[in-house]
Structure 1
């Protein structure tokens, strides 16, 4: 019996197989035959998907928090520049 070369699957393929396993509409044996992947590999991808599902939503929360901080910094800078403009216009004797 000849051994098959080691295959590298694309992340999209792994996600597709893992989601099919999570749905539970087919058995692992059926999925293994359909996608030509060993059932243990499907179980591993399913486990990794379920473990990292929380990170998907955590990343969005981190991005929102970072955006809020950036907006606050920019608002502070706008306020500072407005004060400087007012000061300079008074010092130079110009009115707006």
Structure 2
């Protein structure tokens, strides 16, 4: 999201069955840390899902994100960039 002095990046962990957000984070950097924090919060609150679907954004390609999913026993599904729907 463009802002006056740059960009804000958003990650939303959403349950597609209920269309409810499990976790939401904003950051002024594209590092994966804020995404992993959101993922860990969602897993802690609601348990690990069977599968997580995401695009191939740089945050979701980092080892911290993939490792968190694998260690939680979550299946990984990746669409092309921008194809999250």
Larger radius of gyration: 1
For the aligned pair, the TM-score class normalised by the smaller chain equals under 0.3
Where relative contact order (Cα < 8 A, 6+ residues apart) is larger, the structure is 2
More strand per residue: 1 or 2?
2
More helix per residue: 1 or 2?
1
TM-score by length of 1: 0.21
TM-score by length of 2: 0.23
